[in-house]
Amino acid sequence: MSEVATLCARARVAARQLAPRDRAAKDAALSAIAEGLRARTADVLAANALDLEEARARGTSSALLDRLALDPGRVSQMANAVAQIARLSDPVGHVLFESTRPNGVHVRRVSVPLGVVAMIYEARPNVTTDASALCLKAGNAVVLRGGSEAARSNAAIHAVIADALDACGLPRDAVQMLPPGNRDAIRELLQQTETVDLAIPRGGEGLIRFVQENARVPVIAHAKGVCHLYVDAGADVEMAARIAVNAKLQRPSACNALECLLVDAKDASRVLPPVVRALIDGGCEVRGCERTRALVQGVKQYLDRVIAVRVVDGIDAALDHVARFGSGHTEAICTRDVGHAERWRHEVDAACVVVNASTRLHDGGEFGMGAEIGTATGKLHWRGTMGLQGLTTFQWVVDGDGQVRA
């Protein structure tokens, strides 16, 4: 049996052992993971420093370096996210439907763990803790396959998790780490139909496409975010600027960061200059359509990175633009028009629609979910930021006293 098949088989055994464990046992392990991260921050940062040094030597982009980099604050945030997951209610065992049939049979639909989750991701070491903690809380085993650029960081974090599971009497094999390397191992992982119940890719377009094309197990894709903010005619300019700056610059490398700003042509001469100026003052380079460049000096059409700005002819044109160019991730509007806000909520086809707030709020932590395993841009079986509930399925439980079907 290959290494991949062996790891998945061990994860399947661990999933069976983990599924019946109560909340107290799972929460104790999560608390131990959080404390372990705090106690061993120096070890994690030392491993991360080596990953960063190698990444810089390869000429890795600044955006990817930002995803990869850890510091004491980020490790503390990782630990806090795990601790917050421990405080959340157990997603397993909820009665989702209940009925007593005329023949006396009692029928329930009850939430249960998925089983074994294969998590395939790039660059972000925090995904190692987020995915592990969420899967454990939902009673699942997880096979992690992080990118080679974060190999040392992920190994250091995995060691903390495995030791915490041992210390709390939960199966160490519930969190497996597949060593990074070429994509042949990922391809094999995606074909473990006997042991893997769900694959979740999180990374660039190439990785997502590879997983979707090679998987024989179910896949929930956590794809790129092409997020828009439409500033409606009559919008509060100060609010629009504040939202745009936060959505774009608070963490530009995040998938829910703003990519394109749309402004209604009827009010562009009032709205666009101060909003664009706020972005530029915040360190953002701007590229714009012809109408944008006519209204704001210093905006270029082609730059290395940043935000695209387009003047559109009202909300219908904004909706058409989002429908054509959006990725189904997060779409926002800044407006005082109640009717336009309602149209945005009902006509935009995206995992998250936002009215008068930043796209950066579409996040598991911001939604009170503790953390997220990613953001699903598809529609089955989960959509948007995916936390504990998305890592469960259900089973029908039928209790009777001898009934048979007539």
Whole-number pLDDT of residue 299: 63
> How many residues are there in the chain?
406
Same domain, 11 and 146: yes
Place of tokens 């999560």: 30
Listing DSSP states for 17-84 in one string gives: HHTT--HHHHHHHHHHHHHHHHHTHHHHHHHHHHHHHHHHHTT--HHHHHHH---HHHHHHHHHHHHH
Evaluate whether 235 touches 334 at the Cβ level (below 8 Å): yes
Same domain, 235 and 217: no
How far is 273 from 382, CA to CA, in rounded Å?
Answer: 39
- Number of structural domains (the chain) is 2
Whole-number pLDDT of residue 305: 54
Same domain, 260 and 158: no
How far is 315 from 319, CA to CA, in rounded Å?
Answer: 6
Same domain, 171 and 293: no
Same domain, 123 and 235: no
Same domain, 198 and 242: no
CATH value at residue 128: 3.40.605.10
Same domain, 105 and 231: no
What is the phi-psi region of residue 247: left when phi exceeds 0, alpha when psi lies from -120 to 50, beta otherwise? alpha
CATH value at residue 317: 3.40.309.10
Q: Is residue 376 part of a domain?
A: no
Same domain, 258 and 135: no
Same domain, 278 and 307: yes
Strands (E), 146-273: 175-177, 198-202, 227-231, 258-264
Q: Is residue 406 part of a domain?
A: no
Q: Is residue 97 classed as helix, strand or coil in its secondary structure? A: strand
How far is 139 from 111, CA to CA, in rounded Å?
Answer: 11
How far is 65 from 286, CA to CA, in rounded Å?
Answer: 22
Same domain, 109 and 251: no
- Nearest C-alpha neighbor of 405 from the set 101, 56, 49: 101
For the chain, report the end-to-end CA distance as a whole number of angstroms: 48
Q: What is the pLDDT along the chain (406 residues), one digit of tens a residue?
A: 899 999 999 999 999 999 999 999 999 999 999 999 999 999 999 999 999 999 999 999 887 898 899 999 999 999 999 999 999 999 999 999 999 999 999 999 999 999 999 999 988 899 999 999 999 999 999 999 999 999 999 999 999 999 999 999 999 999 999 988 888 999 999 999 999 999 999 888 899 999 999 999 999 987 778 999 999 999 999 999 999 999 999 988 788 999 999 999 999 999 999 999 999 999 998 988 989 888 887 665 433 357 999 999 999 999 999 999 999 999 999 999 999 999 999 999 999 999 999 999 999 889 988 788 889 988 888 999 999 999 999 999 999 999 999 8
Same domain, 216 and 143: yes
State the residue range of the domain holding 176: 3-222+386-399
DSSP conformational letter for 276:
H
Whole-number pLDDT of residue 149: 94
In 199-357, which ranges are continuous DSSP H helix?
205-214, 237-249, 268-281, 290-295, 314-325, 338-347
Same domain, 35 and 57: yes
Residue 338 CB burial class (10 angstroms; 0-12, 13-18, ≥19): exposed
User: In DSSP terms, which residues pair with 333 in a beta bridge?
Assistant: 230, 355
Q: Is residue 379 part of a domain?
A: no
Q: What is the pTM of this model?
A: 0.87
How far is 127 from 120, CA to CA, in rounded Å?
Answer: 10
